[in-house]
Amino acid sequence: MSDTVADSPTTGQKFTAETLGTFVLVFFGCGAALISGGDYVATGLTFGLTVVVMAYAVGRVSGGHFNPAVTLGAVLGGRLPWNQVGIYMAAQLLGGLLAGAALLGIMQGFPDFSAEGNMAQNFFGDQSALDFAWWAALLLETLMTAVFLWVILAVTDERNEVNVALGPLAIGLSLAMIHFASMAATGTSVNPARSIGVGVFAGTDAIVQLWLFVLAPLLGAAIAGLTYPVLFGQGATPVAGSGLSFGGGRKDQFVPGNYEAQWNQGQQGGWGQPGAAWGAPPQQQWGQPVPPQQQPDPAYGAPQGAPQGAPQSAPSAAPGQWGQPAPQQQPPAQPGQWGAPPAQQPGQPGQPGQSAPGHWGNPDGDDDGRTQVRRPD
In order of start, what are the domains of the chain with their CATH numbers? 2-263 (1.20.1080.10)
Beta strands in the chain (DSSP E): 295-296, 303-304
At 204 the pLDDT is: 95
On whether the CB atoms of residues 320 and 326 are closer than 8 A, the answer is yes
Segments in the chain below pLDDT 70:
1-6, 162-164, 245-261, 266-377
On whether the CB atoms of residues 186 and 123 are closer than 8 A, the answer is yes
At 125 the pLDDT is: 94
Cα dihedral: 231, 262, 68, 219 (round 10): 10
At 295 the pLDDT is: 52
Residues 6 or more apart whose CB falls under 8 angstroms from that of 17 comprise 9, 58, 61, 62, 64, 91
At 6 the pLDDT is: 52
At 335 the pLDDT is: 53
Residues 6 or more apart whose CB falls under 8 angstroms from that of 223 comprise 142, 146
Single-letter residue type at 361: G
On whether the CB atoms of residues 220 and 190 are closer than 8 A, the answer is yes
At 283 the pLDDT is: 40
Cα atoms in the 13 Å half-sphere on the side-chain side of 269: 12
Which residue from 311, 318, 273 is spatially nearest to 293, judged by alpha carbons? Answer: 318
Q: Is the dihedral of CA 205, 178, 55, 213 positive or negative?
A: positive
At 241 the pLDDT is: 81
Three-state SS for 129? coil
User: Is 161 exposed, middle or buried, given 0-12, 13-18 or 19+ CB atoms closer than 10 A?
Assistant: exposed
At 270 the pLDDT is: 29
Q: Which phi and psi (to 5°) does residue 126 adopt?
A: -70, -10
On whether the CB atoms of residues 77 and 233 are closer than 8 A, the answer is no
User: Is 95 exposed, middle or buried, given 0-12, 13-18 or 19+ CB atoms closer than 10 A?
Assistant: buried
Q: Is the dihedral of CA 290, 292, 294, 298 positive or negative?
A: positive
At 144 the pLDDT is: 98
Please compute Rg for the chain using Cα positions: 35
At 247 the pLDDT is: 58
At 248 the pLDDT is: 53
At 20 the pLDDT is: 98
On whether the CB atoms of residues 294 and 306 are closer than 8 A, the answer is yes
At 317 the pLDDT is: 45
Single-letter residue type at 166: L
Cα atoms in the 13 Å half-sphere on the side-chain side of 361: 4
